[in-house]
Amino acid sequence: MTGHFLKAEIHCHIEGAAPPALAARQAEKYGIDPSTFLKDGSYLWSDFSEFLVSYDRVAALFRTDEDYALLTETYLAELASANTIYSEIIVSPDHGDRIGLGADFYLAGISEGIGRAREKTGIEARIIVTGERHFGPERVIAAAEYAARSDNPLVTGFNMAGEERMGRVADYARAFDIAREAGLGLTIHAGEVCGAFSVADALDLVRPSRIGHGVRAIEDADLVARLVDLGTVLEVCPGSNIALKVYPDFEQHPLRRLKESGVRVCLNSDDPPFFHTSLEREYEIASHQMGFHDAEINAMTRTALEAAFVDDDTRTRLL
């Protein structure tokens, strides 16, 4: 059991956290046939491209601010029941726009869900606005502009998720310039589907304090040394990496080698039901399958909180 660990995560996509039972209820509510992406209580996909398609279909089941409030509260309440004190939620205004809800109501619903969960459980959360790489540079820039002009105090960071094989980081650098200029924390998905070059591009062109996944940096020893020197935090999602076949099993996952090289790492659930995981399970895997001692696991939680995009008072209270 890992219930005794205090937990925190800084990498979970809101639509990717939708429990299949909730998605099924939403599909019924809107008269949508879910059989192309949901079967027997599991999401259907077989590789990364199909996962992204399934993800977008699940996102399209959440259509009002109240739908998003319910989804966010449900996700955070489950985390809180597993002794989690902090979460950073990755949200894409494009999903709000695509469904006709609009980015403002989309963000308002998610913020409402955060407020309800905080009131009931004490869990703290922040919002990271993301651009989806496969929607193209213009949409990613629009997401950065949206985040930059947002006066929502819960919006504290900017990210880029989606199809890492589309274009190069340079095509999206302008979006990160806009977000940096606005004082947002920066993180970017890199080194998940693509190799070390993608992490190197991210460091060169985005200069983020954190990288989503980043695990394939292990393929380049000089790059690992660079991550150590810079103190860049890798938001590692082992269950996601195994489900997506980035590595064949947990024994061959590079988390331990990265940590022992001195890279700052933490544990995250990414899109938990899509990858048959939860933050609690990630801690269990680290403890029981990857052989991390309790002190090492607690250090990873601390790293997540140190790297969190929060004000100093909140960080001090959480640490």
Q: Is 310 in the site for ligand ADE (CB under 6 A)?
A: no
Verify whether residue 235 is a known catalytic residue.
no
Q: Which does 162 bind (CB under 5 to 8 A by kind): ligand ADE, Zn ion, none?
A: ligand ADE
Q: Which does 16 bind (CB under 5 to 8 A by kind): ligand ADE, Zn ion, none?
A: ligand ADE
11 annotated ligand-binding residue:
yes
Q: How far is the CB of 182 from ligand ADE (least distance, A)?
A: 22
Kindly name the residue from 15, 78, 192, 280 that is annotated as catalytic: 192
Q: Is 55 in the site for ligand ADE (CB under 6 A)?
A: yes
Site for ligand ADE in 183-202 (CB under 6 A): 189, 192
CA 243 from chain centre, in angstroms, equals 15
3-state secondary structure labels for all residues of 171-182: HHHHHHHHHHHC
Site for ligand ADE in 232-291 (CB under 6 A): 240, 270-271
Question: How many residues are present in the chain?
Answer: 319
Q: Which does 192 bind (CB under 5 to 8 A by kind): Zn ion, ligand ADE, none?
A: ligand ADE
C-alpha 82/C-alpha 94 separation (Å) is 30
C-alpha 314/C-alpha 101 separation (Å) is 31
271 annotated ligand-binding residue:
yes
13 annotated ligand-binding residue:
yes
x/- map, 239-278, Zn ion, by CB under 5 A: -------------------------------x--------
- Amino acid 117 reads A
Kindly tell me which of 91 and 318 has the beta carbon lying closer to ligand ADE. 91
Q: Is 158 in the site for ligand ADE (CB under 6 A)?
A: no
Q: How far is the CB of 200 from ligand ADE (least distance, A)?
A: 18
Q: Is 162 in the site for ligand ADE (CB under 6 A)?
A: yes
Kindly tell me which of 109 and 131 has the beta carbon lying closer to ligand ADE. 131
311 annotated ligand-binding residue:
no
Q: Are 101 and 63 in contact (CB under 8 A)?
A: yes
Q: Is 208 in the site for ligand ADE (CB under 6 A)?
A: no
x/- map, 71-110, ligand ADE, by CB under 6 A: ----------------------------------------
Kindly tell me which of 113 and 238 has the beta carbon lying closer to ligand ADE. 238
Report the interface residues with Zn ion, using CB under 5 A.
Answer: 270
Report the interface residues with ligand ADE, using CB under 6 A.
Answer: 13, 16, 55, 161-162, 189, 192, 240, 270-271
Active site residues: 192
